[in-house]
Structure 1
Amino acid sequence: MSEDTSSDHKFPEQLSDILLVLDKEKKKIRAVKGMSEEGELETVAPTKKNQNQFMRVDKHGDFISNFFSNFYSQMKDPTHFSFFKVPKALAVETANKIQKHLKVPTKEGSQLMQQYEATAGKDIKQENHKTMKTKQKTTQAETNGYRYQPEQIDWETMSNLGLSKEHLEKKNLLEPLLKGYKTNQLVPVSVNLGTAVLRMDARLSLQQNKEGKVIGAIHGIRKEPNLDFPFFGHEFSKEDKENLLKKGNMGRVVDLTNPKTGETIPSIISLDRLTNELVALRTEWMKIPNEIKGIALNEAQKQTLQEGKSLHLEGMISKKGTQFNATVQFNADKRYVEFLFDRNNVQKQVQDNQQNRTHEVPKTFRGKELTDGQYEKYKDGQTVYVSGLTDKKGQKYQGYITYNKETSKTGFSFKKPNKIKEQAQPTEAYETQKAVNSEGKTNETTKNIKKPLKSGEKNPDSKEPQEQRQTPKAPAKFNGRKM
C-alpha cells in the first residue's frame, strides 16, 4: 500500500488477536481500542459493528512489545482490571460468553476466562531485565505519542541525504517524524549515486524495515496521481477519480490486497496534496473523535466518517468563539478528520503549491559549506565571497556568489559585482583556467599543456596569476621647485 499503511500493520489478520478488558468493579467486558494521549484506556463495546476499532496484538509475539504490558505497568490499580487475549474471529462471541458468566457464573465460563486471560507476570518473565527495560522505554515513547526514538535513526545515512538532526529540529520537522507522520512540508533532499547527484523536493517519513531498523522514506513529487492503473488491486471508477482530484479523499471504503501476504484489507484512500502520492489507511486504524469543534457526534455521524464519507456539520465553534459550518471527512494521509470547505479543486491547489512553494536555500556551493554568517547573507540575496573552491582537476579557485530569490538560482562571479544581483564577467585568466581544467577546452597556447592551470594562470608558462602581476612603474616625476 502506501508507506503509511504498510508500516503500521506488521501482522496479517489471521496472525493477530484482540485484547478484551474486564472492569471488575463494574463487571463489564469491553474491547480495547487504544490509549489516549493522556494515557487513559480507550474501549468500545465488543460488537461486530465495532470490529474495525478493535486494537490488535501479535498472536505469536511477546506481550512486552505490545500495548498490554505498557498499559499494565502504568496502571495505578492494575488489579482493578483483567485482560483477555482472544483470536479476532472469536472476539465478539467470547466477550458475550464472559459477560454471561459474570451474571450467571458457570464452570465453563471460568475455564473460558482462564484460557484467554493475559497476565503481565508470565510475559515479563520471558524477557531478561535489559531487554525489558529497552522495550518499556520504546512503548513508553509510543504512549506519549512517539513511535520512534532519535537514537534509532541512522543519522549517517540521513546526512548523506543532506539532512541532519539539528537541521530537522530547527525546521520543526523531527517531532512529526518521531510520531510516525510525514513532514508537513517539502524538504530538499540530495542523493549522491557516485556517478550522479539527484536533488529533489520531497516529504519524509520514518519506517521500520524487516529487520526492525528505522529507515527514512522519501516521498517525491509526482506530476499527477496515477489513477489509470490498479492500486493494490483496486481499479478507480470515474467517481473515485473525481473525488480524489476535487476533495483529496475517495469517499468510500474499498478492499485492497497486500501483495506480500495476499491479505484483503478494508481501507480508505486519499491524495497527498503536496506530492500527488496515493495513500491508503486501514479502516481499523481510523480514530473517529467523539466531538468536533463543540459538536458531539452521534453514532450515525461517526459511522458516516468511518465509512470514508463526507459529513456536513453546522454550528461548530472556532478558536475565536465564532460559529461556522463546514463539511468534514477523514483523510488517510493526515490520519484525522479534516475540513473540506476550502477543497474545491485539490489538483489546482497541488499545482499552485508546486509552482509557488518556497525552495530552501542550500548551504553548500560546489561542495563548499558556507559559514553561518555567509549563509545568512547569501540566502538574503547579498553577494558573498567564497574561497577554497576546487575545479575538476583539483585546483583551487575563489569567487563571489549571489542567490536570486525569484529564480532560486545562484550566480557566480570571479569579481565582486557592482550590484548585489548583477553577475560580473570573469577575468580572462580565470576564464582560461575554467575552460582548460573543467571543460577540457584548449587554444594555441594551452593545447599542449600536461598539467592543470592554477588559479588565475592564462598559460603554463605564467610565473604568477595575471591579476597579481605588477604593471611597470611609471618614471618618477621631477619635483623641481617652481622659479
Structure 2
Amino acid sequence: MEKSGDLKEMLYNRKSKIVTVTPTFAGEKFPIDARLSFRTDPDGSVKLVPHFIHREARLDQDFMGYKFSKDEKAVLRETGNLGKVVELTGRNGEKVPSYVSIDRYTNELVSVPVKDVFVRNTVGQTKLTDAEVAQLKQGMALPPKEITDKNGKTYNVVLQVSADRKGVEFVPDSGRRHEQREQQTQGQKPSSWITVDGRIKPLSKWCKVPMTQQQQADYAAGKVVELTNIPDKNGKLNTVYLQFNPEKQRPTTSLNDPRVTVAEESRTQKAVNTDGLTNEATKHVAEPLQKYQTAPKNEAQQQQQRKPKGPKM
C-alpha cells in the first residue's frame, strides 16, 4: 500500500483505492473488494475501517438526520456531490454544517464537516478569485475553468468540494454536462457527436476511410489522430488531423497538426488546393495538386499556362 500511494492517502485522512480484504466468518475466509481508511476514536485509538462496495447509494434513507429532496438526489447521482452545505446531526446530537458526496468507487454516502475542509486560493498553478473561493466553500461548483497543473499541463474542468476527497476535486465529465445544459437552456439540441452521459461518441471511419482500433481509441480519448489518404474537395488525398473539439461539441479536422505544424507532404497541396495560393513551381499548374506533389509532375503539366489564382505563398 505504501508503494501504490494508498497509505499516503489514508494518512491524509482519505481512503485507499479499491483493494481486496479477506475477513473471516465462522472460520472461513471471504475475499471482498473495499476501500480502506483510518478512523480515530474519541479515546485516541486508531482503527482500520473497510468501506465495502454498495450496489447504489442509499438516497431514500435519512443520512445523519437529513432527508434528501428529489432534486438533491438527482444532483448527487449526476455529479457525485450535493452542491451545497447542509446541517447533519453529529454523534452527540449537535448540528454540523457539512458537505455530502457519493464515493464513486463504493457508492457509499460520505460527509465531512465544513470546518475540516480548507479551500486554497490556488489549484495547481492557477489562482482563484475570492469570489470563486467563496463559491467553493458554499459547496457549489465553479463553471468550467482552465486549470494549469504543477507540471504545466492545462485542463478545462469543473471544480467543486468533494466530501470523499475532503477537498476540491475535478468533477468527472462535468464540463460536457455543463455545455449540454447550456445548449438545452438556449433551445439547442445536444451534440450528436457525444453520448448521453457526456462522453465522446466513438468513430469507426472518417470520410468513408476506416480508422484503426488505436485511432478510434485515441479519438474517443480526445487525442489528435493522424489520418492519411483523406480526400480533399478536389478528390486528391491528404494527411489530415482529426480531434474532438469540446467548444464546438463536434470533431474537427485540419492539415495543421496542433502538436506540430502542417504535415510536410500536404503543405504545398493545402496551400494550392485549399487556400488558393501559388509559388513559382506551381503557378502554371492548372490541375489540383496530388499528395506529395510540390511541382509540375511532367513536362505537359508544366506547359499548361494559367494565370495564378491567388497571392503567392
TM-score (ref. length: structure 2):
0.52
5 Å matches for 1:66-215?
Answer: 168-183=1-16, 185-215=17-47
1:289 maps to what in 2?
Answer: 120
Corresponding residue SS for 2:132? helix
Q: Any gaps of 5 or more consecutive residues in structure 1?
A: 1-167, 350-483
Q: Does 1:235 align with 2:235?
A: no
Deviation string, structure 1 residues 283-309 (Cα, Å, up to 9, x no partner): 111211112244322222111100100
Alpha-carbon distance in 2 for matches of 1:294, 1:224: 36
Query: Which protein has the bigger helix share?
Result: 1
Alpha-carbon distance in 1 for matches of 2:156, 2:105: 26
5 Å matches for 1:360-399?
Answer: none
Residue of structure 2 aligned with 1:332, choices 163, 166, 178: 163
Alpha-carbon distance in 2 for matches of 1:336, 1:225: 21
Corresponding residue SS for 2:30? strand
Deviation string, structure 1 residues 228-268 (Cα, Å, up to 9, x no partner): 0110111111121111111110101111011x311000011
Is the alpha carbon distance of 1:196 and 1:319 closer, same or farther for their aligned partners in structure 2, counting shifts above 3 Å? same
Alpha-carbon distance in 1 for matches of 2:85, 2:78: 18
1:427 maps to what in 2?
Answer: none
How big is the shift at 1:280?
0.4
1:245 maps to what in 2?
Answer: 77
1:129 maps to what in 2?
Answer: none
Deviation string, structure 1 residues 64-105 (Cα, Å, up to 9, x no partner): xxxxxxxxxxxxxxxxxxxxxxxxxxxxxxxxxxxxxxxxxx
Deviation string, structure 1 residues 87-142 (Cα, Å, up to 9, x no partner): xxxxxxxxxxxxxxxxxxxxxxxxxxxxxxxxxxxxxxxxxxxxxxxxxxxxxxxx
Q: Any gaps of 5 or more consecutive residues in structure 2?
A: 178-195, 198-313
Is the alpha carbon distance of 1:181 and 1:323 closer, same or farther for their aligned partners in structure 2, counting shifts above 3 Å? closer
Is the alpha carbon distance of 1:229 and 1:207 closer, same or farther for their aligned partners in structure 2, counting shifts above 3 Å? same
Deviation string, structure 1 residues 132-169 (Cα, Å, up to 9, x no partner): xxxxxxxxxxxxxxxxxxxxxxxxxxxxxxxxxxxx33
The aligned amino acid for 2:46 is V
Alpha-carbon distance in 1 for matches of 2:3, 2:125: 34
Deviation string, structure 1 residues 286-345 (Cα, Å, up to 9, x no partner): 211112244322222111100100002534334564554321101110112111252479
Query: How many residue pairs align between the two structures?
Result: 178
TM-score (ref. length: structure 1):
0.35
Question: Are the aligned partners of 1:331 and 1:338 in contact in 2 as well (CA < 8 Å)?
Answer: yes
Alpha-carbon distance in 2 for matches of 1:212, 1:320: 39
Q: Which has the higher contact order (CA 8 A, sep 6+)?
A: 1
1:267 maps to what in 2?
Answer: 98
Is the alpha carbon distance of 1:176 and 1:316 closer, same or farther for their aligned partners in structure 2, counting shifts above 3 Å? closer
How big is the shift at 1:208?
2.0
Is the alpha carbon distance of 1:305 and 1:172 closer, same or farther for their aligned partners in structure 2, counting shifts above 3 Å? closer
1:280 maps to what in 2?
Answer: 111
RMSD: 2.4
1:220 maps to what in 2?
Answer: 52
Bigger Cα Rg: 1
How big is the shift at 1:223?
0.5
